[in-house]
Structure 1
Amino acid sequence: MRQVRLCFDVGGTYIKFGVFAQDNTWLSQGKIATPHESKEVFFDALLAKIVEIEQTATIEGIGLSFPGFIDPEQGVAIMAGALAPIHGCNIIKELQGRLIGDYPIWIENDARCAALAELSSGHATDVQDFVLITLGTGVGGALVHQRKLIRGSGFRAGEFGMMVTDFQASSFATLHDLASTRGLIDAFRQAKSIPINKEILGETIMEQWDKDPETQQIVRQWARYVAIAIYNLAVTMNPEKILIGGGISQNPVLLPIVRQALKDNPHWLDFQVPLETCRYYNDAGLLGALSLIEQGGKK
């Protein structure tokens, strides 16, 4: 049977999967709902997909992009994001214990997987040092120095969303609250008196940018928080490049707005670095997990 590489990108809502040939070309992909009921139900969902793939192919290795504080050396999800039943779980041992086949398995934090994807074939192939910041339900990120991931002593490096940047006005509110897409949606909902049960997407707000002055004001204020995060990262790391990821970054309006917010900062001139969006959006986690397999989990 054909040898394949199987990758999972675990999120709070969906688990995306991708099957790749040995030359890293896509063979198939899809997603399943993320189970939250228990550890057993979660691993049963992964196992069912693995068994399905095994019917038609030989799995060469499995890569996992995972939320939270991830120890890739031991395979432990110290804190698994919104997946409370998985906190403290050794993901690799739990999964290997349920498999019939003996596959090598690698795991890494999802934002770091996105950074690996950009390093491998994205917008960071030409640099040694860069920072990646993701704007989604929260604010995530990854730090790369000399083309190697910086994980920190407790595997918490890159948790940009926990920065406190507006204490006088917002107390201990973090960038998760202020600079995430969720933060933008919350501000928009409040300004427009939109009921909580009505779904709003960040992409929808950005599409209204040139149609409504009030929306422009909301987005500009939100972009200031994003710009503060970018400035602080530039001052801290002095990287060659900063990449912005997350679904909202696909809108071409975003970068000019953030760049203007950075120009409003009189100190940016002394610390400015090139700012780009990531090449990969929804596929970043899967391609990063593929890089884990390709590199033998060494990065």
Structure 2
Amino acid sequence: MNYLCFDVGGTFVKYAVLTDHAEFIEKGKYPTHSEVPDQFFADMATVAKRFPEIAGVGISFPGFVDPATGVAKRAGALGQLDGFNLIAHFKQALGNADLPVAIDNDAKCAALAELLNGNAMDVRNFAVLTLGTGVGCGIVLDGKVLHGGHFRAGEFGMSITDFQAQGYATLHDMAATSSLVRAFAKAKGLPFEQASGEMIMADLQDPVTNKVVRTWAQHVAVAIFNLVATIDPERILIGGGISKNPKILPFIEAALNENPFWGEFHTDLALCKHDNDAGLLGALYIALQNH
């Protein structure tokens, strides 16, 4: 059987048709028109109508989403969709109330992608920490994704970890890839727009750059340690654009080893297998479970 999966982002909506063995048959993307909700759902329906033989639909979506009802309690960057029942509106636009549709938060879908056919297939308790524009987190305990009482479980980027020095600055501000790039640009006297993660990785031999990365890695290590102390996972997986570079993991491991308690709480650390397709594969996982 084949499934249609959507990965909704602030700029583009990616979609793919996949088999129940996670094989891609077709991929595509189109601009996100969330500012006009009717257009947003019409665009999804237009794609779905191209594939009348699909067995179900999976949707990876930002924000606080109730997977049981399909309601977006908070639609992340797509604020115009706050409070919408995304499943109901999609089915209405499609004109098919019987099609099985499943939805969940994008970070949770990224974690489920690793459970489906990634680097968490052999564990039941793990977390995915994504380092990008912000810090995302998906937590899986006993093989089930953790949603929480208000569907906010895993909003780890909002953690405040350095109050005396940084006030209410969150991990989004200190441990995201964007914060690393910003610190690098400041240290090098560059405009933020001219700096990039690739530039940083190519300049690691420079003492200034090396210090910037080590400082950033300490913030990431604090996040990892607190997560480990809270949920006791079997593995922590690091995702996000910068994680694709194998040079970054040793910096994080070195920062963790500076923590005198890490020996007692030491947990397996690895990189995510999936990157750009994580949302689509996570959407497939929930579609398979729903069907």
Instruction: Identify whether the pair has TM-score above 0.5, normalized to the shorter chain.
Output: yes
1:166 corresponds to which of 162, 166, 173? 162
The separation in 1 between residues aligned to 2:26 and 2:203, in whole angstroms, is 35
Deviations 1:175-194 (A, max 9, x none): 01110111112212222232
Change over 3 Å in CA distance of 1:111–1:270 after alignment to 2: same
- Per the alignment, residue 215 of structure 1 pairs with 209
Task: Give me the CA root mean square deviation.
Answer: 1.5
- Per the alignment, residue 122 of structure 1 pairs with 118
- Per the alignment, residue 91 of structure 1 pairs with 86
- Per the alignment, residue 281 of structure 2 pairs with 287
Aligned residue for 1:244, secondary structure, equals strand
Deviations 1:158-213 (A, max 9, x none): 111000001111100000111011111221222223235x2543233223223x22
- Per the alignment, residue 50 of structure 1 pairs with 48
The separation in 2 between residues aligned to 1:78 and 1:150, in whole angstroms, is 16
The separation in 2 between residues aligned to 1:104 and 1:131, in whole angstroms, is 28
- Normalised by the length of structure 2, the TM-score is 0.95
In structure 2, what residue type is equivalent to 1:14? F
The separation in 2 between residues aligned to 1:41 and 1:188, in whole angstroms, is 40
- Per the alignment, residue 6 of structure 1 pairs with 4
Extract unaligned runs of 5+ from structure 1: none
Moved over 6 A (4+): none
Conserved? CA contact 2:22–2:281, under 8 Å? no
Change over 3 Å in CA distance of 1:41–1:277 after alignment to 2: same
Length, aligned pairs only:
290
Pairwise mapping of residues 63-102 of structure 1 onto structure 2 (< 5 A)?
A: 63-101=58-96, 102=98
In structure 2, what residue type is equivalent to 1:97? Q
- Per the alignment, residue 269 of structure 1 pairs with 263
More divergent stretch after superposition (27-36 vs 105-114): 27-36
Identity percentage over the alignment?
49
Deviations 1:245-277 (A, max 9, x none): 111111001111100010111111111101001
More divergent stretch after superposition (228-237 vs 212-221): 212-221
Conserved? CA contact 2:57–2:102, under 8 Å? yes
Q: 1:22 deviation in Å?
A: 4.4
Extract unaligned runs of 5+ from structure 2: none
- Per the alignment, residue 108 of structure 1 pairs with 104
Conserved? CA contact 2:20–2:288, under 8 Å? no
The separation in 1 between residues aligned to 2:19 and 2:253, in whole angstroms, is 39
In structure 2, what residue type is equivalent to 1:70? V
In structure 1, what residue type is equivalent to 2:148? G
The separation in 2 between residues aligned to 1:186 and 1:22, in whole angstroms, is 41
The separation in 2 between residues aligned to 1:204 and 1:48, in whole angstroms, is 40
Conserved? CA contact 1:203–1:247, under 8 Å? no
Deviations 1:95-114 (A, max 9, x none): 01111334111001111111
- Per the alignment, residue 57 of structure 2 pairs with 62
In structure 2, what residue type is equivalent to 1:239? P
- Normalised by the length of structure 1, the TM-score is 0.92
- Per the alignment, residue 18 of structure 2 pairs with 20
Conserved? CA contact 2:6–2:14, under 8 Å? yes
Q: 1:89 deviation in Å?
A: 1.2
Aligned residue for 1:125, secondary structure, equals coil
- Per the alignment, residue 228 of structure 1 pairs with 222
- Per the alignment, residue 240 of structure 1 pairs with 234
- Per the alignment, residue 171 of structure 2 pairs with 175
Deviations 1:55-114 (A, max 9, x none): xx5121110001111110110111111111111111101101111334111001111111
The separation in 2 between residues aligned to 1:33 and 1:191, in whole angstroms, is 35
Aligned residue for 1:156, secondary structure, equals coil
The separation in 1 between residues aligned to 2:41 and 2:210, in whole angstroms, is 44
Deviations 1:223-244 (A, max 9, x none): 1100000010111111111111
Deviations 1:270-296 (A, max 9, x none): 111010011111111100100111111
Aligned residue for 1:153, secondary structure, equals coil
